[in-house]
Amino acid sequence: MACVEGRARAYASSANLGPGFDVLAVALDAFYDEVYVEVCDAGGEAVAVVESVEGPYSAGIDLDGNTARLAVNALLEGERVGGVRAGISIYKSIPPGRGLGSSGASAAASVVAAARALGLNPSPHRLIGYAGLGESVSAGSPHYDNVAASLLGGLVVVAVRGREVLAAYRAPLDGAWFAIVVPMVEVPPSKTGFMRSVLPGTIPLGEAAANFGRSAALVAAAHHGDLEAMGRLMMSDDIVEPARSKFTPCYSEVKKAALESGALGFYLSGAGPAMVALARGRESAERIASSMREACSCCGDAIALPSSPAPGALEVEVV
Ligand code: HSE
C-alpha cells in the first residue's frame, strides 16, 4: 500500500426539527467541511491523527480530542484495519458549537474519506455508527442524528438501540427551503452536554407517546410534500425545546419574526443557539432569514442565510 488517500465533503445539519430529538435531522447546503485522509503503512496498531485544521472556523479546534480522529479510529477498529497511520486534514467552514452539526460533519467526512482511501465500502449503518461514536466527545453521549444527515443527505430519520444503528433512512423533502440564523453569542465549550443536562430525566408515558407521534407524522408529512403540516409539527415539541429555549438568546423574538415574515415552521437547531425556519422557496427563505437576523440584534451579531437540503457525504465526489 505505502500511502493511499481519500477525500470527502460533508454538509452542516440541523437536528431534532422540533419533536424528533436525536432521531431527525436535515442536511443543509449553507455550510460544509472537507476532509483529506492519507493512510500509510506503519507498524503496530492502527492509529488516526488529526494533522491540520484550516478554514474560516479552524481557530481553537482541538486536534487530539477531535471527533474526526475518534471516528476514524472507530472505523479502523471496526473494519479490522491494522498496521496503518491515518493522517486527517480538515477544512472547516461550518461554525462549531452553534447547533449545526459541525463536529458531526467533520466525523462524517472523515470516515467517508478514510473508507475511500482504503477502498472499503462499509454499509451506511456502520459509517453512521463510527461517526456517531466520534460525536460522543462533543455531546458527552453518542447521538446519530447529525452524522446520519451529513452522511445520507436531506431529511433523515435514524433509529438506534443502545449503540446499534437499527435503521437510517432519507425521507423525500421536495420543495422545502430553510432559513438559518446563527447567533454569534458566546457558548460554553461543553454546550451540547449542558443543553442535554437541562432536559427532563423522565417523561410521563402519555407525553412521550404524543411526541413520538408528532415526530413520526412530521416524516410522513415530508413524504407527502405537505410543508404546512411539517411546519406545524416542527413547533409541536413539548419536551426538549421548551426546556432549552430559555437558554437560547433571542429565541422568542426570532421565532416571532420568522412566523410574521411567512415561515411555515420554526425550531431550535439541535442544541442551539442556531434556529431554523421552514419556507416554501428561496425568496421566502431569504426574507425570513433577514427578519430573523434583525430580531437577533438584541443579542449581538448573527449570521443568517437561506439554505436548501444538501446531498450526503456518501454522494459527493471530491477531487
Ligand atoms: N440531537 C442532539 C441534541 C443534537 O439535540 O442534543 C446535538 O447537536
**CATH number of the domain enclosing 16:** 3.30.230.10
Distance from residue 82's CA to the centre of ligand 1 (Å):
33
167 and 292 inside one domain: no
Contact 220, 20 (CB under 8 A): no
Substitution candidate for ligand 1 out of 13, 22, 135, 199 with most atoms within 8 A of CB: 22
106 and 61 inside one domain: yes
- Chain-centre distance for alpha carbon 151: 10
Does 278 reside within a domain?
yes
Does 79 reside within a domain?
yes
pLDDT of residue 298: 80
Does 220 reside within a domain?
yes
Does 314 reside within a domain?
no
Distance from residue 20's CA to the centre of ligand 1 (Å):
10
Q: What is the number of structural domains in the chain? A: 2
165 and 180 inside one domain: no
Q: Nine-digit cell at 279? A: 419556507
Q: Please give the share of the chain, as a percent, with pLDDT higher than 70.
A: 98
Distance from residue 215's CA to the centre of ligand 1 (Å):
15
Most confident among 38-47, 183-192, 257-266 (mean pLDDT): 257-266
148, 171, 194 - which closes a domain? 171
Does 240 reside within a domain?
yes
- Answer yes or no: is pLDDT of 82 > 90: no
Phi, psi dihedrals of residue 265, rounded to the nearest 5°: -165, 170
Mean pLDDT of 149-175: 94
Distance from residue 21's CA to the centre of ligand 1 (Å):
7
Q: What is the pTM of this model?
A: 0.95
Determine the atom of ligand 1 nearest the C-alpha atom of 101.
Answer: 8
Does 292 reside within a domain?
yes
147, 171, 195 - which closes a domain? 171
Q: Going by CA atoms, what residue is nearest to atom 7 of ligand 1? A: 270
Distance from residue 142's CA to the centre of ligand 1 (Å):
10
Read off the CATH number of the domain in which 181 is found.
3.30.70.890
Does 9 reside within a domain?
yes
161 and 211 inside one domain: no
Give residue-wise pLDDT tens across range 121-141.
999 999 999 999 877 766 667
Q: Going by CA atoms, what residue is nearest to atom 8 of ligand 1? A: 270
Q: Going by CA atoms, what residue is nearest to atom 4 of ligand 1? A: 270
155, 171, 187 - which closes a domain? 171
Pocket of ligand 1 from Cβ distances under 6 Å: 15-16, 21-22, 99, 101, 139, 143, 145-146, 192, 196, 270-271
Mean pLDDT of 94-116: 95
46 and 160 inside one domain: yes
Domain residues for the domain of 147 are: 3-171
pLDDT of residue 299: 81
Does 49 reside within a domain?
yes
158 and 184 inside one domain: no
pLDDT band with cut points at 50, 70 and 90 for residue 115: very high
Q: Going by CA atoms, what residue is nearest to atom 5 of ligand 1? A: 270
Distance from residue 271's CA to the centre of ligand 1 (Å):
5
Distance from residue 43's CA to the centre of ligand 1 (Å):
38
